[in-house]
C-alpha cells in the first residue's frame, strides 16, 4: 500500500483551478497518492475548485473527518457509489483524538469511493501542491525556420498563461508564419490556464462543458471564448466574464503535438482548438482524462479533492477513459523526433518546382 502511494504521488503534480467559482476554476488531473484503485500509469494532473479554509483553531480532528465526509457526500460525481456512504459519517465518533487518527480514518473512508482522483492531502502534500502552482519557466519557445515552436510543460502553474502569451508575442516579433504547440507529456493542470491560453489562438468558440454534481445538486457549466472575454456560465447563468487576451495568432496554421502523457487540461485545450477548426493534432493517442475535481483547503494546513464532474469537448464528446486520436498518428522513432518533423513539414512545406523549370 505504501509503495503504491509513493509511486502515484510521484506520477504527476496536483494542480488547482477553479472550475465553477471563476472562469476555468476546476482542476483537471492527478491520481490519489493513497488510493488502492489508482492506475499504475503516468497520469495527468487534477481539475479542481478551491474553497474556503477552516483554521485548525476552529476544528477538532473529528470535525476535520466530518468536513471531508460532507464534502465528498455533497459533491462526488458517481452518486451510485454513495449508497452506503452515510454509515461513515459517525463511524469514528469519539475515537479521533489526534490529527493522525483523523487522517487515517479519512483515507479509509475515501478509499471506499474507488476513485483514484478523490483523496485527502496531508500537510506535506498540500505544501508540495502549492509550490507547484507557483512554478516558473514552464513554457519554452524558439523559432525553427519560419515556424514558432512553443513547449508548454504543464498547465499546473499559475504562470503558464502569462508565459505562453510572452512566447507568442516574441515569436510573432521574430516573424512566425505558423505555430507548433508541444503538449507531449503535459499531464494537465489549471483549467483556468488552459482556458486563457485557448483565447490566444481563437477568435471565439466554446472551450468546454462541465456536467456533474455540486453542493448536493446537479451542476452544469459552459466555458466560452467570446470576442472580448472568457465567459463562464453555471446552470444557465453567467457567473464570470473576464476580459481576455485577444487572438495573438490570427489565422496562421497551428499544429499541436500530443502523446499518451497529454492529459486533462492538455486534452481540453487541444480538443477545443481542433473542434473549433483552429488546429490539427499530431502524434499519438492522448491519455483520456475527462473528469474534474474540486480542490478544497481544510484545517491543519491540509486539503482534499473530490471528483465532481465530467468534461465535454465542444463537439460534445467526453474523452474520459478513451483519449483523443490525433489527426495524424505519428509514432516516435529512435534518435528522431518524427512527430515534430511531420508538424514542421505541414507548417512550412517546401516549395516544389514547376514542371519544365530547371
For residue 356, being part of any structural domain is answered with no
| CATH number of the structural domain spanning residue 66 | 3.30.750.44
What pLDDT is recorded for position 14? Answer: 30
Q: Which of 51-65, 124-138, 225-239: highest mean pLDDT?
A: 225-239
pLDDT the model gives residue 236: 94
Q: What residues does 150 pair with on adjacent strands?
A: 141, 181
The CATH code of the domain that includes 192 is 3.90.226.10
Q: How many domains does the chain have?
A: 2
Q: How confident is the model at residue 18 (pLDDT cuts 50, 70, 90)?
A: very low
Together in a domain, 195 and 341 = yes
Q: Which among 123, 86, 83 is positioned nearest to 102, based on CA atoms?
A: 123
Range in 24-28, 221-225, 332-336 with the lowest mean pLDDT: 24-28
- Per the model's pLDDT, the better-predicted residue between 99 and 1 turns out to be 99
Q: What is the pLDDT of residue 231?
A: 97
150 occurs within a structural domain: yes
Give the domain-ending residue among 89, 111, 133: 133
**For residues 215-240, average pLDDT:** 96
Same domain, 197 and 171: yes
Q: Which helix (H) or strand (E) holds 169?
A: helix 160-173
Q: Is the dihedral of CA 141, 145, 148, 151 positive or negative?
A: negative
- For range 12-25, the mean pLDDT: 30
Per-residue pLDDT band for 49 (boundaries 50, 70, 90) equals: very low
Verify that 78 and 119 share a domain, yes or no: yes
Q: Which helix H or strand E contains 100, and what residues bound it?
A: helix 99-111
Is the model's pLDDT at 54 over the cut of 60?
no
3-state DSSP call for residue 148?
strand
- Predicted confidence (pLDDT) per residue in 331-341, tens digit: 999 999 999 99
- Does residue 158 fall inside a structural domain? yes
Looking at residue 349, its pLDDT comes to 84
Give the chain's mean pLDDT.
Answer: 86
121/187 same-domain check: no
Taking CA atoms, 328 is separated from 188, 273, 306, in Å, by: 22, 15, 35
**pLDDT tens, position by position, 143-186:** 999 999 999 999 999 999 999 999 999 999 999 999 999 999 99
Mean pLDDT computed over 61-65: 96
Quick one: average pLDDT of 84-93?
Answer: 96
Active site residues per annotation: 264, 275, 289
Residues 100, 237, single domain; the answer is no
In this structure, are 249 and 321 located in the same domain? yes
Q: In the listed set 133, 160, 195, which residue is the last one of a domain according to the structure?
A: 133
Cell 473530490 locates to 306
Residue 193 pLDDT: 95
Please tell me whether residues 126 and 230 are part of one structural domain: no
**Is position 309 within any domain?**
no
* Residue with more model confidence, 32 or 73: 73
What value, to the nearest 5°, has the Cα angle with vertex 256 and ends 269 and 258? 85
pLDDT of residue 132: 85
Is 19 among the domain residues? yes
> 77, 107, 133: which is the final residue of a domain?
133
- Flag whether 357 is in a domain: no
Question: What does the pLDDT average to over 240-268?
Answer: 96
Range of the domain at 342: 139-289+314-347
Considering the domain architecture, whether residues 198 and 111 belong to the same structural domain is answered as: no
Same domain, 180 and 122: no
Residue percentage of the chain with pLDDT more than 70? 82
The pLDDT of residue 300 is 92
Query: Do residues 148 and 261 both lie within one domain?
Result: yes
304 located within any domain: no
pLDDT at 38: 30
Q: Do 93 and 197 fall within a single domain?
A: no
Check whether residue 325 and residue 203 sit in a common domain: yes
Query: Would you say residue 273 lies in a domain?
Result: yes
As a whole number of angstroms, the distance between CA 312 and CA 318 comes to 5
| Predicted TM-score (pTM) of this structure | 0.84
Backbone angles phi, psi at 190, to 5 degrees: -65, 125
Amino acid at each position: 500500500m505504501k509503495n503504491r502511494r509513493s509511486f502515484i504521488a510521484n506520477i504527476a503534480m496536483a494542480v488547482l483551478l477553479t472550475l465553477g467559482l471563476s472562469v476555468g476554476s476546476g482542476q483537471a488531473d492527478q491520481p490519489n497518492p493513497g488510493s488502492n484503485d489508482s492506475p499504475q500509469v503516468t497520469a495527468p494532473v487534477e481539475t479542481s475548485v478551491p474553497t474556503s479554509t477552516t483554521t485548525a483553531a476552529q476544528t477538532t480532528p473529528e470535525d476535520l473527518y466530518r468536513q471531508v465526509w460532507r464534502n465528498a457526500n455533497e459533491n462526488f460525481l458517481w452518486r451510485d457509489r454513495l449508497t452506503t456512504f452515510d454509515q461513515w459519517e459517525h463511524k469514528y465518533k469519539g475515537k479521533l483524538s489526534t490529527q493522525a487518527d483523523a487522517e487515517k480514518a479519512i483515507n479509509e473512508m475515501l478509499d471506499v469511493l474507488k476513485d483514484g482522483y478523490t483523496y485527502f492531502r496531508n500537510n506535506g502534500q498540500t505544501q508540495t501542491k502549492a509550490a507547484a502552482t507557483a512554478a516558473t519557466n514552464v513554457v519554452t519557445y524558439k523559432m525553427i525556420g519560419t515556424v514558432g515552436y512553443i513547449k508548454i510543460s504543464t498547465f499546473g502553474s499559475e504562470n503558464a498563461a502569462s508565459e505562453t502569451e510572452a512566447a507568442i508575442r516574441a515569436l510573432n516579433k521574430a516573424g512566425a508564419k505558423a505555430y507548433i504547440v508541444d503538449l507531449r507529456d503535459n499531464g494537465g493542470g489549471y483549467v483556468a490556464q488552459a482556458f486563457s491560453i485557448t483565447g490566444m489562438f481563437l477568435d471565439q468558440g466554446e472551450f468546454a462543458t462541465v456536467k456533474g454534481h455540486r453542493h448536493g445538486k446537479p451542476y452544469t457549466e459552459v466555458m466560452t471564448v467570446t470576442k472580448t472575454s472568457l465567459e463562464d456560465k453555471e446552470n444557465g447563468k453567467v457567473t464570470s466574464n473576464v476580459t481576455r487576451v485577444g487572438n495573438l495568432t490570427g489565422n496562421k496554421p497551428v499544429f499541436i503535438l500530443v502523446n499518451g502523457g497529454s492529459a486533462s487540461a492538455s486534452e481540453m485545450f487541444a480538443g477545443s482548438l481542433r473542434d473549433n477548426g483552429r488546429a490539427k493534432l499530431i502524434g499519438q493517442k492522448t491519455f483520456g482524462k475527462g473528469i474534474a475535481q474540486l480542490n478544497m483547503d481544510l484545517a491543519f494546513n491540509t486539503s482534499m479533492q473530490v471528483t465532481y464532474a465530467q468534461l465535454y469537448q465542444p463537439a460534445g464528446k467526453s474523452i474520459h477513459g478513451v483519449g483523443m486520436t490525433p489527426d495524424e498518428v505519428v509514432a516516435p522513432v529512435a534518435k528522431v523526433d518524427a512527430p515534430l518533423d511531420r508538424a514542421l513539414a505541414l507548417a512550412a512545406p517546401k516549395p516544389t518546382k514547376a514542371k519544365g523549370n530547371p
